Structure 1
Amino acid sequence: MSFNTDLKVGVLGGGQLGRMLLQSAININIDLRMMDPDPHAPCSNLIADFQVGDLEDYNAVYEFGKDCDILTIEIEKVNIEAMKKLQSEGVKVFPQPEIIEMIQDKRVQKQFYLDNNIPTSSFVLTESKEELKKYINKFPAVHKIGKGGYDGRGVQVIKSQDDIEKGFDAPSLLEDFVPFKKELAVIVSRNEEGEVNSFPVVEMVFHPEHNLVEYLLSPAVIDKSEAEKAKKVAIDIIQKLGMVGILAVEMFLTKDNEILVNEIAPRPHNSGHQSIEGNFVSQYDQHLRAILNLPLGDTTTKISSAMVNVLGEDGFTGDAKYEGMEEVMKIAGASVHLYGKKLTKPFRKMGHVTITDPSLTSLKTKIEKVKSTLKVKA
């Protein structure tokens, strides 16, 4: 069977994930077309067919998608009804619209775990901030807005009655606070044939204030039995969803050595960037293989790696200037990936640095060096 490089593959979103997906697409001679609401999005000047459009607008998504053979996403905030219509008209939409729709609402997502015996923390649904007063006995707990949360926004830790004011006055969920040892993630993929493969478990370290991944280690420094349990849960989820594409599964490793699912994302993810240098196949290569129904690639770790997010410095907004680039590029095993964003603002994701090193001790030293050296200012 011959491989068709003339397929029209559309991507809703043209940010940094689209940029890295594009690099993988070039390697197999697939031309992507993209739509993003930002005329200056990272992919805007990199591809011939870049359109400016509202990803949540029915007509914009439908008109963009109707000429595609395959439609995919790099962000979940998209118009589901248009995608369902395109799917009904023969466009292959991966991940499938009904799966994106479920994931868009954290309340429905949580219920899916419950209904499918997927381990997750206990929760109650809330409709307003006022309603939190009924659940004082559950504090400390985590309040998550049902729809619209992204990159740390839409999540608040409610430690006591004094924090109720921080909650969300909208349909949300209140989750039990999980005493965890580590936060983990597994990237898992599935193609149309039903072939499933997962990347090794990674360990994420979050910024203490802004709920963004600060850096990660791959593979995670955990027991083999814990790693196997985490991979099994991730594979179980994608199989029960019947999803085509790539799925990031974020999890807690509890102090009792249990695995609890936190959230999922049906697209390439921050927790898989290091795979570009650290694994035989990257998450972007794998996503394309999955949606094109090609054999999935070998996810084996080539070398231990870390990924450090490059975030805009607090207190700086304006045209981005990068300090410390020369010093970071002298570090053996460091690969800098900048996302092409002209404007920096506090804690905006401006890029990442992958570091490869066979020694965990050396890797951690290099992580600290990158964190303290590379700064994005204006």
Structure 2
Amino acid sequence: MERLVTSNLKMGIIAGGQLGKMLIQEASKWNIITYVLDKDEDCPAGKIASHFVKGSNLDFNDVYQFGKQVDILTFEIENVNIEALNKLKSEGVRILPDPDILALIQDKGLQKDFYRNNHIPTSPFRLVQSEQDILKSIDNGDFSFPFVQKLRKGGYDGKGVAVINSASDLNKLLPGPSVIEEKVEIDKEIAAIVARNNKGEIKCYPIVEMLFDPQANLVDKLICPSSITVEQSEKAKNIASEIIELLNMEGLLAVEFFIDSKGEVIVNEVAPRTHNSGHHTIESIVTSQFEQHLRAILNLPLGSTKLKLPSVMINILGEEGHHGNVLYEGLTESMAIDGVKIHLYGKKITQPYRKMGHITVLSPSLECALKKAEKVKQLIKVKSWTKN
């Protein structure tokens, strides 16, 4: 993309959440002109983009008209109107990652078929059309408890997922076409972020380990480097690199894995964009995931993924029982701790478990970083307050 050096490159980002905001912060270093499409005028990315366009990522006309304004189009969310992207692509707009890849990943059923067809290790599954199909399959003995139901489309951050451990959980079944997976006995959850440019250059980041909040079903702590074996780490990196190569994808791909009770590395799902499991890279890796995504979609040389310091990332979530204008507690005390880097997303309204920011704690020792992160976690609270 030689136009990068002309300072006239227009990049569009569909959706204006925190991922879009952090992508724009990197793009501004290269003087890229940024456009953001979002329904919310107060979205995190909207205030720092060169141009904000109000509209829906699901509306054909909104996405199509937005795409006509830019030279290159990317996204920070999978749930985008594919028909509009395909029309833009047919008219010569560069869309990266490609709409065909996005369409496959939007549908968890197609995603699982892709793994099976390409011999990528994943949990056994079957596809169903409705709750009634699930109940019939149980009656017929086609599959048994426990199992996990995932809606084929629209789920994220634990939404659209039901864990069915026994017949008493059948009231949790979700309506709609779904993937039914055997429930994996999980020992650890890990993630790999891998990038690929048009030249076919591929670079994978160090594997991270994820600990989840059981109530919010969101990442509670993200640890880099992970505690898995060298063999498991290399296997995860190789699988992630194989997937992005098979997809012939340009951009950044986050691959989430389970390590089961037998130590096997199993793909859970992927996201074709920057990801919560890569926020620590801003400070702890030579090249952040946001800069790497830009390098990949602009077909520039990929940056180093070398670890600078061990890190622990924690999400800043809205407190239970609080909904409204944002009040942060504990920021000053947390900033007094060496190695603490705070990122606030600028969301105007808090609600329980909403992602309001993240904190990365750096230390020469992972053990020390974990202790500091736990202290910060106790200090920082996101509450609400009432205007007078």
Q: Report the TM-score range of the alignment, normalised by the length of the smaller protein.
A: over 0.9
Secondary structure (helix, strand or coil) at the match of 2:116 reads helix
Q: CA deviation at 1:207?
A: 0.8
Q: Distance in 2 between matches of 1:243 and 1:347?
A: 33
Q: Give the structure 2 partner of residue 183 of structure 1.
A: 189
Q: Secondary structure at the match of 1:46?
A: coil
- What does 1:206-245 correspond to in 2, within 5 Å? 206-245=212-251
In 2, Cα distance between equivalents of 1:138 and 1:213: 29
The aligned runs of 1:253-264 (5 Å cut-off) are 253-264=259-270
Q: 2:294 aligns with which of 263, 283, 288?
A: 288
C-alpha deviation, 1:251, in angstroms: 0.2
Question: Which residue pairs with 1:44 in the alignment?
Answer: 46
Per-residue CA deviation, residues 322-350 of structure 1 (Å, 9 max, x unaligned), is: 01111111111010000000100000000
Runs of 4+ residues over 2 Å off in structure 1: 1-5, 130-138
Query: What secondary structure does 1:55 align onto?
Result: coil
3-state secondary structure, aligned to 1:143: strand
| Aligned-partner residue type, residue 237 of structure 2 | K
CA distance in 2: counterparts of 1:199 and 1:4, whole angstroms: 30
TM-score for the superposition, normalised by structure 1: 0.98
Q: Distance in 1 between matches of 2:6 and 2:267?
A: 38
CA distance in 1 between counterparts of 2:332 and 2:10 reads 40
Matched residues in 2 for 1:351 and 1:29: separation? 25
Verify the 8 A CA contact 1:130 1:169 in the aligned structure 2. no
Match of 1:333 in 2: 339
Q: 1:24 aligns with which of 8, 23, 26?
A: 26
Candidates 8, 14, 17, aligned match of 2:16: 14
1:205 equivalenced with 2:214 (yes/no): no
Q: Does 2:133 align with 1:126?
A: no
The code of the aligned residue for 2:190 comes to L
Select which of 357, 372, 376 maps to 2:378.
372
Work out the CA distance in 1 between the residues paired with 2:129 and 2:174.
9
CA distance in 1, matches of 2:49, 2:285: 27
Structure 1: runs of 5 or more not aligned = none
- Picking from 241, 244, 252, the partner of 1:246 is 252
Instruction: Show the 5 A alignment for 1:266-281.
Output: 266-281=272-287
- Answering whether residue 84 of structure 2 is matched by residue 78 of structure 1, we say no
Which of 63, 67, 70 is equivalent to 2:69?
67
Deviation at 1:12, TM superposition (A): 0.4
Alpha-carbon distance in structure 1 between the residues aligned to 2:130 and 2:373: 41
Residue-pair matches, total: 378
Deviation string, structure 1 residues 64-84 (Cα, Å, up to 9, x no partner) = 101211100011111111111
Which SS does the other structure have where 1:130 is aligned? Answer: helix
Tell me if the contact between 1:308 and 1:367 (Cα under 8 Å) persists in the aligned partners: yes
Q: Separation in 1 of the partners of 2:144 and 2:247?
A: 31
Q: Unaligned stretches of 5+ in structure 2?
A: none
> Could you tell me how far 1:130 is from its partner in structure 2?
2.6
Letter in 2 for 1:303: L
Q: Select 1:353's aligned residue among 335, 352, 359.
A: 359
1:315 corresponding residue in structure 2: 321
Shift of 1:106: 0.8
> In 2, Cα distance between the equivalents of 1:57 and 1:364?
43
Q: Give the letter aligned to residue 175 of structure 1.
A: E
The AA in structure 1 aligned to 2:355 is: K
Conserved? CA contact 1:132–1:164, under 8 Å: no
For 1:323 and 1:210, the matched residues in 2 are separated by 20
